Amino acid sequence: MKNNIVILVLCSLGIAQGSFLCFYLLTLKKGNRLAHQFLALVILGLILRIGKSILNVYLDLEAWQRNLGIAGILLVGPSLWLYGEVLFKRREELHWTTYLHFLPYLLFTLFCWIIPNRGDTISYFIYNAVFAHLLMYLVMTMWLLIKNSQSTQPKIYQWYRNLVIGVGLIWAFYIGNIAGLIPFYIGGALFFTLLVYMFSFLLLRNHTFSLEKYTGSVVDTTLSKGLMKSIVALFETEEVYLNPKLSLSEVAQSLQTSPRILSQVVNENKRMNFSEFVNFYRIENAKKLLVSSERKDEKMVSIAYDSGFGNVTSFNLAFKSFTGLTPSQFKKQNGLS
């Protein structure tokens, strides 16, 4: 009995924390609001499904009530995929047809009164079809991760990858329960509780949700994008990143703007701080030098200096951060060990 009470309390805390995250994301005005909304829908869908699991253990739910919980799964898949689309492509609006992905959820919710849920064959088929729907979107998110593995800022990529893994594990748990491999039905709710507190930790620890520090700025979207083009042009044509002493103030002076505005523009458009943005160009340059047949015998210190780094240590740390490999491992991977 005591164990049941502990489990109920833990699961309820997860639901409460998830609800708080949903409310926070839906009311957050900074950053990409569309991305925040899709992430909130992912969490809401999980809350509906997990909430049904908790109530189903302790209460005798009606069929339509169980269906409302099951419908949450139909909300998770499209929201997770669209969250990745918005996050990676930095979109702030989508075509109306995109929202047709939510039609299965809306129909399932609307007809929850008449959809069978009585433990017979057709009910079992519908239940499995709902999880097949989520599997389809999980595959789509995996493809999204593969396509954007080299073009997305590592912190953003890792955050979305971990989110997909978390949702995938919840899916796997319920499938295991359906197949009779995992008898502990309420375990999905316990895992969700762990997952939602991990999300909260990441929210407080870093800028995953684009918590901007530029309150009160007057730079509008058009000016921001225009200035970003000028920054990119400066870096790509004059290769200013090769200067190991390059500073934010120096670049701002070249573009006749303030360091604060320059920092904001880079953060908003590239989801990086200025230092990460500079290192991105330096690492791209280093990659070309590392795979160059003419410089295959070059020492790492030369590659580091010729890419704009002041020392080998900062070069190695930045390279590992952006690529997940050391410079030597990258060389070996490209057949130039």
Question: In the chain, what's the furthest Cα-to-Cα distance?
Answer: 73
User: What distance in Å separates the CA atoms of residue 69 and residue 50, rounded to the nearest whole number?
Assistant: 8
Residue given tokens 């080998």 in the structure block: 312
Mean pLDDT of the chain: 84
Query: How many domains, the chain?
Result: 2
Q: Which of 30-34, 189-193, 201-205 is predicted with the least confidence, judged by mean pLDDT?
A: 201-205
Each residue's pLDDT tens digit, 285-315: 999 998 887 877 788 999 999 999 999 999 9
Q: Which of 5-9, 186-190, 266-270 is predicted with the least confidence, judged by mean pLDDT?
A: 186-190
**Residue 174 and residue 62 share a domain:** yes
* Alpha carbon separation from 262 to 44, 91, 206, 221, 270 (Å, rounded): 36, 21, 21, 13, 12
The confidence score (pLDDT) of residue 212 equals 40
The confidence score (pLDDT) of residue 224 equals 81
The confidence score (pLDDT) of residue 90 equals 65
Helices (H), the chain: 2-27, 33-58, 63-89, 103-110, 121-147, 154-178, 187-205, 221-237, 248-254, 259-270, 274-290, 300-306, 312-323, 327-333
* The amino acid at 305: Y
pLDDT surpasses 60 at 70: yes
pLDDT surpasses 70 at 175: yes
The token pair at 317 is: 């740390």
* Alpha carbon separation from 166 to 9, 75, 160, 161, 296 (Å, rounded): 22, 16, 10, 9, 41
Q: Which of 177-181, 231-235, 243-247, 284-288 is predicted with the least confidence, judged by mean pLDDT?
A: 177-181
CB count within 10 Å of CB 250 equals: 12
User: What distance in Å separates the CA atoms of residue 114 and residue 63, rounded to the nearest whole number?
Assistant: 9
The confidence score (pLDDT) of residue 211 equals 38
The token pair at 30 is: 């900074």
**Residue 253 and residue 182 share a domain:** no
- Of 210 and 20, the one with more pLDDT: 20
- Residue 315 belongs to a domain with what CATH number? 1.10.10.60
Residue 335 backbone class (left: φ over 0; alpha: ψ -120 to 50; beta: rest): left
- Of 90 and 237, the one with more pLDDT: 237
**Residue 177 and residue 111 share a domain:** yes
Do the Cβ atoms of 231 and 266 come closer than 8 Å? yes
- 18: containing domain: 2-205
Band (214; pLDDT cuts 50, 70, 90) = very low
Q: Out of 156, 174, 205, pick the residue that ends a domain.
A: 205
**Residue 25 and residue 160 share a domain:** yes
Q: Out of 148, 170, 205, pick the residue that ends a domain.
A: 205
**Residue 233 and residue 305 share a domain:** yes
The token pair at 71 is: 């419908």
**Residue 77 and residue 164 share a domain:** yes
User: What distance in Å separates the CA atoms of residue 286 and residue 154, rounded to the nearest whole number?
Assistant: 17
- 215 inside domain: no
| 213-226 as b/e: b if 16+ CB within 10 A | eeeeeebeeeebee
The confidence score (pLDDT) of residue 2 equals 55
pLDDT surpasses 80 at 89: no
CB count within 10 Å of CB 52 equals: 21
- 87 inside domain: yes
